[in-house]
A and B are shown apart, each in its own frame.
Chain A
């Protein structure tokens, strides 16, 4: 399930980084506080056991503490911790204790070395993290460039193909009206009509995608009658599904649920339209609705060829299209399904159906309203 979100991660990289950066700034003060606190705590613990361990061991323990701090904190809190720990070590552990004076030459060397090692430790760990961060940013940039390339390829293909049909057919009709038989004319006109409807669906999908990406999507939840939703959507997909057998199974006593009707209609429509497009004529499409606890469950399944097991984790990714399938989709339909379902805090899963076919299971937690039996 979680592997599927990789692409939304990429497109949201910008926002995500911003959150991280502002998080850093807010955390600065806390980082200083925590560094100081950690050094003092560790030193206090060592002090309790100073009867059993020598000053050298304490130095190692303090250095270890610094390393741990350096792994997640900024450089300045770490340097502060380094200075502080050196002073503490000198004051509480090095002889003579409880003052900053250092007795013999050996201890003087040890203290200066401690100080230098602590600094190097902090700086090095911080540098490693910075290199990692740059590498990560580079990788993310490369990924978004790849994604945009896929986007442009997909869009130019999916938009130009129907446009070519429309322009070509219209030119034909305008330039040579006479030589065409009535049947040819009709064919050209049908081509225009089909291509424009297709184009319209692509635009619809892109608009929905941008609604999702903008983060401005606001759910308008209200009580939904699931039969109304399912049959209403089926009616819209009727033309696409006319070569298929459609079965609907909705329990008589299904309660009402609070959902965004418009978005759920898109979700169902995209699933049905996929089933219509990618299963052979005569295939069976089944829509089931039910509820489990506080969740509504919607299932759309078919007995078509199904999805190859290894491609299942990627089908909800934006612009992902199965290998070896006929052209005609943007690779957006399922990512919109996923986006709209997740906007409801629900989830959608794709499973293989036996002996063949695909099964999409949507589960959404929502308020439920049981309906009293109708008045007679």
Chain B
């Protein structure tokens, strides 16, 4: 039965991705402030009208209020019936990697993330959104965070994208997953799993092989490798038992990688459990982790930072409201 459109969905409520929070870096690679960013791609050919004093103008920082909260509120007011000209304005802003010095680090990413949410929530799928996401990922002039966000948005966008565009979306994720040196290779793996799980007809290639390639690549980025390890557990890839044991036991492995491996071992090898490796004293924090206590013990060890190690300058909320 055809679902009835609901009032609230028409109002654009129900955004999906949540990317608010702390950012480890304030780097916004690419263009310097005020350059306007890269040339627009050929598919973005709409002439921009003069910006009206609307939510859209505020959203992209060209309204009267330019502070983060006002812009965030404006984005949440965009609704789901944006005009083509408004969508073009948003596309331009999303593709512009220029640093916005009046925002705190990471805030422009949060705004762009919520704009992508608003675009995906349009009642009529915005034309060219697929190309925009692909372009954001492919553009080396974009900050890595935005390239990562583009990959994150591909998974929920897949179901609404045109049938002819879906192969391109999967190909983009697969390409990203092959960039083992980048943390977003892990993001791409997660997105591929989501596409496969949430779309019965999705044609995702040999996903297991992609996971194994990163899992077994010692040169892969830590973030990507952690994700590969986590997915072994999530997907119960029993043929990775030996790999996971090796990663969990390796005393010189990064603690976070070992923690992820131990967590996955609880699924992949529930009867085996973590191997009882005795910790050895040494300066490497990973060596101080009592593996025989299980992942919880590793967590506790990670939390046992020496006095003064806590980052007091980062203990404040990064953005958004407090409770």
A and B are interacting partners: no
